[in-house]
């Protein structure tokens, strides 16, 4: 089973990104589940979401303690939350950053999701929305196919800017 933990702030789209990732994995012929974890958080508060992907039915719906992949949608969380907690040795980190970042012992991928969202004017309540663009980056690093990422996005959203954002992230992610 491949396990993903997504760290975001309320309002950035982390919960929706988890849902979209699960849909895309299902479109790729896999089984998947998405599970958010938050309480009475408000916009801007740290939120964690989880996705499990497997070739067999996923019957677990809970937090993930030892992920294969950690996605960080807000780089400022690195100093606030232990985003690397439990990440498997040699695991992958995908971080929203305009600058290449390194985390010793892990495969690190960077992409400026915020810049992409701003270019596409994907903003809600003053915050860039990162949920669809991150799917493009996840496709590029091989978690899902690019075709399934686009299908998942168009099943949930009708605005073409979301697919353009995913395409941009696919092109711009630094692996």
Kindly state the tokens that stand for 164. Answer: 């353009």
How wide is the angle at C-alpha 130 spanned by C-alphas 60 and 112, nearest 5°? 120
Domains by residue range for the chain, with CATH? 2-172 (3.40.920.10)
Nearest alpha-carbon partner for 87 in 62, 112, 104, 110: 104
Sorted by sequence, the CB contacts under 8 Å of residue 142 that are 6+ apart come out as none
CA-CA distance, 84 to 147, in Å (whole number)? Answer: 29
Residue-wise DSSP of 35-48: EEE-SS--TTSEEE
- The three-class DSSP label of residue 47 is strand
CA-CA distance, 33 to 18, in Å (whole number)? Answer: 9
CB atoms within 10 A of CB 26: 17
CA-CA distance, 86 to 5, in Å (whole number)? Answer: 10
The CB-based long-range contact list for 101-109 (8 Å cut-off, 24+ gap) reads 101/75, 107/175, 109/137, 109/141, 109/173, 109/174, 109/175
Task: Give the pLDDT of the chain (175 residues) as one tens digit per residue.
Answer: 999 999 999 989 999 999 999 999 999 999 999 998 876 657 788 999 999 999 999 998 899 999 999 999 999 999 899 999 999 999 999 999 999 989 999 999 999 999 999 999 999 988 999 999 999 999 999 999 999 999 999 999 999 999 999 999 999 999 9
Contact present, 45 and 76 (Cβ < 8 Å)? no
Q: What is the pLDDT of residue 40?
A: 61
């Amino acid at each position: 089973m491949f396990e993903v933990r997504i760290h975001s702030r309320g309002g950035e789209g982390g919960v929706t990104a988890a849902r979209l990732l699960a849909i895309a994995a299902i479109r790729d012929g896999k089984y998947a589940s998405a599970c958010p974890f938050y309480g009475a958080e408000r916009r801007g508060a740290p939120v964690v979401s989880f996705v499990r992907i497997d070739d067999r039915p996923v019957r677990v719906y809970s937090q993930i303690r030892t992920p294969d992949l950690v996605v960080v949608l807000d780089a400022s969380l690195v100093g606030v939350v232990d985003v690397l907690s439990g990440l498997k040795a040699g695991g992958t980190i995908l971080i929203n950053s305009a600058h290449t970042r390194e985390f010793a012992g892990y495969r690190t991928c960077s992409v400026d999701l915020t810049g992409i969202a701003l270019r596409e004017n994907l903003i809600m309540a003053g915050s860039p929305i990162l949920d669809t663009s991150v799917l493009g980056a996840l496709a590029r690093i091989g978690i899902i196919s690019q075709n399934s990422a686009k299908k998942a996005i168009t099943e949930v959203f009708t605005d073409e800017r979301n697919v353009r954002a995913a395409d941009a992230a696919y092109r711009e992610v630094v692996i």
